Amino acid sequence: MASKLPKRMRLRRKLHILRTLTNSKSAKKRSIIMDAFLLIYKLKLHLQTIKREPLSLLNLTQEEVKVEKMGAEFLVKVMCKKGQEVLVAILESFERMGLEVLQARVSTHPFLSLEAIVEPRDQGFDHLDVKHIIGSVHQAIISSSS
């Protein structure tokens, strides 16, 4: 009889520790254990998302440039690694092509993201097309990173 009491005390102590670690409100042993399993599962999912995030950022080795024609204007979306002078190089390429930036939105966390609406400055730039703009922006990104 005397040996059951220390075992019961150890079990209660361990359940109390588990209850405090999981912030469980229940007094039942089964509920405390289920709360612990739920917490472990949530932590595992959180750890997987943390592991996945840097990998997705590292996979951004290739820049992504999308251009859509909207009437006389172009919507340019650029996503690439951050670097010194990348944004300046892209804007200079717009200048060389004779494009005027009407509106732009830039984000640099965790990589460079640019969304700009551009239009030809003069009517003589009818030769501009989507492929020409994409090629020029790609060239600007490559030249700024080297």
* pLDDT for 56: 56
105 with 126, same domain?
yes
Percent of the chain with pLDDT over 70: 88
* pLDDT for 61: 56
Choosing from 58, 82, 103, the residue where a domain stops is 58
The number of distinct structural domains making up the chain is 2
Judge whether 98 and 125 are in contact, CB under 8 Å. Answer: yes
Consecutive H or E run containing 87: helix 86-97
Look up the domain containing 138 and give its range.
64-145
Cα distance between residue 11 and residue 17, in whole Å: 10
107 with 129, same domain?
yes
12 with 47, same domain?
yes
Q: What angle do CA 105, 83, 74 make, to 5 degrees?
A: 35
70 with 141, same domain?
yes
77 with 54, same domain?
no
38 with 91, same domain?
no
78 with 138, same domain?
yes
* pLDDT for 84: 76
Q: Is the predicted pLDDT of residue 140 greater than 80, yes or no?
A: yes
Choosing from 19, 39, 58, the residue where a domain stops is 58
What value does the mean pLDDT of the chain take?
85
* Residue 119, CA distances (Å) to 18, 64, 72, 132, 140 in order: 63, 21, 6, 14, 18
13 with 47, same domain?
yes
pLDDT in tens, 63-102: 789 999 988 899 999 988 877 788 999 999 999 998 999 9
37 with 86, same domain?
no
What would the mean pLDDT of 21-47 be, rounded to a whole number?
89
Give the residue among 112, 105, 115 at the shortest CA–CA distance from 75.
115
Q: Is the predicted pLDDT of residue 45 greater than 80, yes or no?
A: yes
131 with 87, same domain?
yes
75 with 136, same domain?
yes
pTM of the model: 0.57
38 with 101, same domain?
no
